[in-house]
């Protein structure tokens, strides 16, 4: 394995308060849920969890509030082997949090997010990070003006290096926000969600890939996960490749399915797998995730990520 196997995930870390309910509640009622838990959340935080579970050397870079939740969040990163040495602790801020309702009846996950005053990561914060250990840097699509500058800094860093030592950049275009489009031309690998596609009026994966490819830089990889329909991807003028979804016996927790798919696909690409194999690996790992509650049971399912890549069909879903 490459000595530069580190993958850095840049973006949000928040607290998720997750309630499992049998049916989505009626407005203005009072009921008990099946189960309620605290879970570390945020797309980049979730990406790093999955990479840690797969056995990658994963690191998280983002801001963390210096509030009472900090200990829970940092201990939880450590549980999954995620390095948080670069995270920027912000004094006097409240921890962003989400109330998440998981419905057993429909397998939906409804998220109500709040971020009162935690600042976004600044370009200056990013510029202080030594980039040399990283093989891959993944950016969550938020904080657009700063992230655009950060990706440019990575490109500058690459200029002085032999091609084989370039840091690959990826970006996730997930939320229905027009400003995210500005990040599409910048990264080597672009993940586009079906929510963003719906917001743009694209009706399927093929149309989404065509439209996004036209904005991406020549030769970039574009990947589009699409829930139960699996995922498709293309690179430059190459053919489109597809993977079906791999549904588990019963879908119980879809929170972070997209984050899981993206992380597992990055893991496979970073290990040199072909694009079609990589998105199939992403779909298999995400399929396993939606069949279990939270992240902990994934340990037993995944084992060693590199072994799994060689024999992904062994993934016990
Ligand atoms: P998000 O969580 O961002 O809405 P998606 O719904 O597109 O993301 O799901 C991402 C990936 O997770 C899909 O490509 C698929 O592989 C997997 N996935 C999501 N929902 C299911 C499901 N019900 N059954 C099997 N796989 C699923
Ligand atoms: C899931 C997630 C949650 C978080 C929310 C933020 O993808 O990262 O963990 O609460 O999205 O938008």
Residues having CB within 6 Å of any atom of ligand 2: 14, 16, 41-43, 46, 98, 111, 113, 255-256, 258-259
46 alpha carbon, closest ligand: 2
Q: Is the CB of 193 under 6 A from ligand 1?
A: yes
Q: Low-confidence residues of the chain, pLDDT below 50?
A: 1-3
Question: Which of 183, 179, 180, 175 shows the shortest CA–CA distance to 154?
Answer: 183
Of the bound ligands, which one is closest to the alpha carbon of residue 253? 1
Residue identifier of the C-alpha nearest atom 9 of ligand 2: 41
Ligand 2: centre distance to CA 96 (Å): 10
18-21-24 Cα angle (round to 5)? 105
- Interval 183-239: pLDDT, tens: 999 999 999 999 999 999 999 999 999 999 999 999 999 999 999 999 999 999 889
- Domain residues of the chain, as ranges? 9-23+35-308
Fold of 9-23+35-308: 3.40.1190
Pocket test for ligand 1, best of 103, 104, 193, 225 (most atoms within 8 A of CB): 225
Give, as one character, the DSSP assignment of residue 274.
-
The whole-number pLDDT of residue 1 equals: 41
pLDDT at position 59: 98
Q: What is the CA radius of gyration of the chain?
A: 19
- Token digits of residue 289: 């995730």
pLDDT at res. 314:
67
Residue with CA closest to ligand 2 atom 1: 256
Name the residue of 10, 41, 50 to mutate for ligand 2: max ligand atoms within 8 A of Cβ.
Answer: 41
Centre a 10 Å sphere on the Cβ of residue 105 and count the other Cβ atoms it contains.
9
DSSP letters spanning 43-90? HHHHHHHHHHHHT-EEEEESEEE-STTHHHHHHHHHHTT-B-TT-EEE
Dist. CA 42 → ligand 2 center (Å): 4
pTM: 0.96
CA 262/CA 98 separation, integer angstroms: 21
């Amino acid at each position: 394995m490459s000595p530069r196997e580190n993958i850095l995930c840049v973006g949000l870390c928040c607290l998720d308060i997750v309630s499992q309910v049998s049916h989505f509640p009626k407005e203005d009622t009072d009921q008990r849920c099946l189960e309620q838990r605290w879970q570390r959340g945020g797309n980049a935080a979730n990406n790093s969890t999955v990479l840690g579970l797969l056995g990658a050397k994963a690191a998280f870079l983002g801001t963390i509030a210096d509030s009472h939740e900090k200990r829970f969040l940092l201990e939880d990163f450590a549980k999954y082997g995620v390095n948080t040495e670069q995270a920027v602790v912000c004094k006097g801020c409240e921890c962003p949090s989400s109330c998440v309702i998981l419905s057993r009846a429909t397998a939906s996950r409804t998220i109500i997010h709040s971020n009162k005053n935690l600042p976004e990561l600044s370009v200056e914060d990013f510029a202080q990070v030594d980039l040399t250990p990283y093989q891959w840097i993944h950016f969550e699509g938020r904080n657009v003006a700063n992230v655009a500058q950060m990706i440019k800094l990575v490109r500058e860093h690459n200029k002085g290096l032999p091609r084989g030592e370039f840091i690959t950049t990826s970006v996730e275009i997930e939320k229905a926000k027009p400003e995210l489009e500005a990040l599409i031309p910048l990264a080597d690998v672009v993940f586009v969600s079906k929510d963003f596609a719906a917001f743009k009026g694209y009706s399927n994966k093929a149309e989404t890939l065509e439209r996004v490819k036209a904005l991406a830089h020549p030769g970039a990889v574009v990947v589009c996960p699409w829930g139960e329909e699996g995922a498709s991807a293309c690179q430059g003028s190459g053919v489109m490749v597809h993977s079906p979804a791999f549904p588990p016996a019963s879908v119980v927790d879809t929170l972070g399915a997209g984050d899981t798919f993206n992380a597992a696909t990055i893991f496979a690409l970073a290990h040199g797998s072909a694009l079609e194999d990589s998105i199939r690996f992403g779909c298999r790992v995400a399929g396993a995730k939606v069949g279990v509650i939270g992240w902990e049971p994934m340990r037993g399912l995944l084992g060693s990520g590199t072994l799994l890549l060689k024999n992904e069909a062994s993934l016990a879903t």
